[in-house]
A and B are shown apart, each in its own frame.
Chain A
Amino acid sequence: MNKTVNINLAGIFFHIDEDAYQKLQRYLEAIKRSFTDSQGRSEIISDIEARIAELFSERVKHDKQVIGNKEVDEVISIMGQPEDYLVDDEIFEDEPQPAPKRKTSPSKKLFRDTDNSYIGGVASGLGHYLGIDSVWIRLIWLLLVIGSGGTFILIYVLFWILVPEARTTAEKLTMTGEPVNISNIEKKIKDGFDTVSDTVSDVAKNVTDSFSGAAKNVSNAAKNVDFKKQSSNIKSSSKTFFDTIGDLIMLLFTVFAKFIGVILMITGAIALIALIVGLFSLGVTNIVHIPGLDLVDIANVGNTPIWLVSLLTFFLVGIPFFFLFYLGLKILVNNLKSIGNIAKFTLLGVWILSIIGLVIVGIRQASEHAFNEHVVEKQEFYMAPADTLKIKMVNNDSYGSSYRNNSSFKFARNENGERVIFSSDIKIIVKSTTDSLATISIEKSADGSDYSSAIERAKNIRYNYAFKTNEILLDNYLTTEAKNKFSDQEVAVILYLPEGIIANFNHNTRSFLNYRTYNGNIVSSSDSDHFLKIIEDDVECLDCPEIDVSIEGEKDGIKINNDGIEVKVDSSSLKINNKGLKATSPEVKVNIDNNGINIKSDTK
């Protein structure tokens, strides 16, 4: 029992057995492949179909008869095998084709050569494609894999997936660059498949050579007797001239495209490798704990798992680069397997999901900084007027020895072995007070996603100071337990100093003082290391040098004092004071004062 198919051949209806139908279809496919479009393929095919329909109708005696294998075989034997359709163009060419055109090797395609494979046949396939012995390709692969720390295996796998395997004989011939014609295919099949890859190219070449040799002989003979018409000669030679130019332009385009392809492929591959290395190292350190990496963990106030963030980033960046790589490879090698629509859309989906994921993570991180709250501790201490108060920073060796304000944070273990975050984000603000008691106020602040968490974080800041006789020792660091995460923890030390006392800020406070004074802060960094008398809303420097810069006295030099600025060089001088501006040189005198502007010049 056989299933039948209904077909329409040149407008005539036939019942045909399914296997016979498949045979006929393969036959027509094979014929179609032996023509090019320029030969009028569609017309030839429809003529052939019409003839086959005619032959079938001769064999069908009544309406219900089904065409079987026997009929199809008969028709095929009448029509001939696909190679009989091949018109050897050389015979019919009016002029021999331009030499370079004929010399161009038949277009090769990249396939995986699984007959000669060690792993996936990628190397031997590339060897065929590039015309290099696959031993060298393998060597290069090996070097690349070792050199890149194994990540080049990924590129190999990509090639393995994307490059199709040479399965059919035609593909195997295309892979080695032999022209695919029926005789070659036949030859190859006859030679058997076990030793085929070694011998096929020679045999195939011989066959082609002999074939084209014969063709050339005939064509030469034909040329001598045929086509003496000058007109057709001129026409065809001009045609070939423009064809050649066209070919040349196409060749340039191809070379350019391939170049772009190489660049795209290399960019994609390098980016992918870098990403994989990054992902891999992050993933490992997440488990193994490498000290430096805890920093990332501490900053991660949103408590998003690191592996998730890195995976999302990997997809976000990696997928476009994968497509870049794929595009590059596709430009280079025109018979790449498509990765399939499902894969494409899945990748697109994953990419969009990663964007969404990262945005959510970002919002979570940002919301952790939505509230900035602070808690204040105050302590008063007695200061005898006219006493000198010394203010000094102290450091803790566990947290480094530098006396610099820095809002970044570091990770350490404190003396109890707890994991703590430390930062030197300390500000010193000095205010004057009419009170007889000095007050120190410690303001701790931190960010949080809501009021209570911000307060909680601020409370968990540890900051110490010590008060000795006439001396305040301030820590130059703040700490908090690692579990609190780093979220802009800051400490502001506000000193309310009674008017009349003298304060001396040690030079190590310089970085923690504000760089300028303003309403509410009367001591700036430049005031450190000096003895300052606290007066109402200001300080008086007791040991600062007078601002009276005088260089080289009354003769040449610059003099800046309460009167103004005076510059003297030889017989030229410039004077700016409350009277105005006066510039004098031997030839020109400029005077600006309450009389106006006066310019005098002595021309010699």
Chain B
Amino acid sequence: MKIENTKAQMRKGVLEYCILSVLKDEDAYVAEILDTLKDAKLLVVEGTIYPLLTRLKNAGLLNYRWEESTSGPPRKYYGLTETGKLFLNELNTTWSELQNAVNLVTRKKSTKK
């Protein structure tokens, strides 16, 4: 069992939730999403995000539009669909539940020690 693997898997697990959260208020293109996630240290390399975005888009949670860019190729601006918003709301509840649960469990453990 390698700690890196576990860490990576943990991160990947919440990544979908985080991507949806980034897009909650306003549409963004990939580089912007990446910046947010990288700042939060959720993402080490950029490659991980592409399959996830395609996946979320195919599931109907995201849609995108093309926008011309002055400095490079046209950009894909992603936004949440209605389903995506519902999905995100549900994930929010789940997340807070999970957070509480994890906190509870880890705190118990630490107090026991």
Identify the A interface with B (CB < 8 A): 9-12, 31, 35, 39-40, 43-44, 47-48, 50-51, 53-54, 57-58, 77-82, 84-85, 87-88, 91-92, 210-211, 213-215, 217-218, 221-222, 225-226
User: Across the interface, do B1 and A78 meet the contact criterion of CB distance under 8 Å?
Assistant: no
Give Cα A296 to B50, complex, Å.
75
Q: Which of A78, A79, A92, A226 contacts B94 (CB 8 A)?
A: A226
Contact present for B73 and A54 (CB under 8 Å): yes
User: Smallest distance from the beta carbon of A151 to chain B beta carbons, Å?
Assistant: 53
- What are 24 A-to-B residue pairs whose CB atoms are below 8 Å? A10-B73, A40-B54, A40-B55, A44-B54, A47-B53, A48-B50, A53-B73, A54-B69, A58-B72, A78-B46, A80-B45, A80-B47, A81-B45, A81-B47, A82-B47, A85-B48, A85-B50, A87-B12, A91-B12, A92-B16, A214-B1, A217-B9, A226-B91, A226-B94
Expressed in whole angstroms, the minimum distance between the Cβ of B35 and any Cβ of chain A is: 12
C-alpha gap A87/B12 in the complex (Å): 8
* Interface contact B1-A39, CB-CB below 8 Å: no
Chain A proximity mask over B41-67: 1 for CB below 8 Å, otherwise 0: 000111110111111001000000000
Residues of A within 8 A of B53 (CB): 47
* Residue in A12, A53, A54, A80 whose beta carbon sits within 8 Å of that of B44 in the complex: A80
CB of A57 within 8 A of CB of B47, answer no
Check A214–B5 contact: CB distance below 8 A: yes
State whether B12 touches A88 (Cβ < 8 A). Answer: yes
**Does B5 lie within 8 Å of A87, measured CB to CB?**
no
Residues of A within 8 A of B74 (CB): 11, 50
Q: Which residue of A lies closest to B1 (CB)?
A: A210
Instruction: Report yes or no: A85 in contact with B51, Cβ–Cβ below 8 A.
Output: yes
Chain B contacts for A43, CB-based, 8 A: 54
Give chain B nearest CB distance to A222 CB in angstroms: 5
User: Which 3 residue pairs spanning A and B have beta carbons closest together?
Assistant: A80-B45, A80-B47, A10-B73
Residue in chain B with minimal CB distance to A94: B59
Shortest CB distance A538–B (Å)? 104
Once A47-B50, A48-B50, A84-B47 are accepted as A-B contacts, the answer to whether A91 and B31 lie under 8 Å apart by CB is no
Separation in Å of the A529 CB from the closest CB of chain B?
101
Contact between chains at B5 and A211 (CB < 8 Å): yes
Tell me, in angstroms, the Cα distance from A84 to B98 when the chains sit together.
26
Hey, which chain A residues are within 8 Å of B1, CB to CB? Answer: 210, 213-214
A222 to B44, CA, bound (A): 22
Contact A79 B46 (CB under 8 A): yes
| Distance of A53 Cα from B30 Cα, bound (Å) | 13
- Pairwise interchain contact A91-B47, C-beta atoms closer than 8 A: no
Q: A80-B47, A213-B1, A226-B94 are known contacts. Are A57 and B71 too (CB-CB below 8 A)? A: yes
B24 at the interface (CB under 8 A from A): no
> Can you list, as one digit per residue, whether each of B24-39 has a CB less than 8 Å from chain A (1) or not (0)?
0000001100000000
Consensus secondary structure, chain B interface:
helix
Residue from B16, B45, B50, B95 with most neighbouring chain A CB atoms (10 Å)? B50
Residues of chain A within 8 A (CB-CB) of B50 are 44, 47-48, 51, 85
Q: Is B76 in contact with A47, judged by CB distance below 8 angstroms?
A: yes
Chain B, Cβ-Cβ closest to A221: B13
Q: Is B82 an interface residue (CB 8 A)?
A: no
Bound: A98/B83 CA distance, A = 28
**New contact pairs (12) apart from A35-B51, A81-B47, A92-B16, CB-CB < 8 Å:** A50-B76, A57-B73, A58-B72, A80-B45, A81-B45, A85-B51, A91-B13, A92-B55, A214-B5, A214-B6, A214-B9, A225-B95
- Are A80 and B48 in contact, with the CB atoms below 8 A? yes
A142 CA to B87 CA in the complex, in Å? Answer: 65
B16, closest chain A residue (CB): A92
The CA of A279 and the CA of B98, in the complex, are separated in Å by: 78
Q: Would you call B40 an interface residue if the criterion is a C-beta within 8 Å of the partner chain's C-beta atoms? A: no
Closest-by-CB residue of A relative to B64 is A47
| Cβ contact within 8 Å between B47 and A47 | no
Contact of A87 among B31, B52, B69 (CB under 8 A): B52
Question: Using Cβ atoms and an 8 Å threshold, which residues of chain B touch A80?
Answer: 44-48
Given contacts A39-B54, A214-B1, contact A51 B13 (CB under 8 A): no
B2 sits at the interface (CB 8 A): yes
Asked whether, in the complex, the Cβ of B31 is within 8 Å of the Cβ of A51, the reply is yes
Name the CB-closest residue of B to A224. Answer: B98
B98 touches A50 (CB 8 A): no
CB nearest to B11 among chain A residues: A218
B38 to chain A, nearest CB (A): 9
- Which residues of B from 73 to 113 have beta carbons under 8 Å from A? 73-76, 91, 94-95, 97-98
- The complex places the Cα of A44 from the Cα of B48 at a distance, in Å, of 11
In Å, the complex CA distance between A434 and B90 comes to 128
Known: A51-B46, A87-B55. A222 touches B13 (CB 8 A): yes
**A residues near B97, Cβ cutoff 8 Å:** 225
Residue of A nearest to B52 (CB): A87
Closest to A56 in B: B72
Q: Name B98's closest neighbour in chain A (CB-CB).
A: A225
Asked whether B58 lies within 8 Å of A40 as measured between CB atoms, the reply is: yes
Q: Which chain A residue has the least Cβ–Cβ distance from B56?
A: A92
Residues of A within 8 A of B94 (CB): 225-226
**B-side contacts of A222, CB under 8 Å:** 13
Report the Cα distance A202→B16, complex, angstroms.
34
Q: Which residues of chain A have C-beta atoms less than 8 A from B72's C-beta? A: 12, 50, 53-54, 57-58
Chain A hits for B69, CB < 8 A: 54
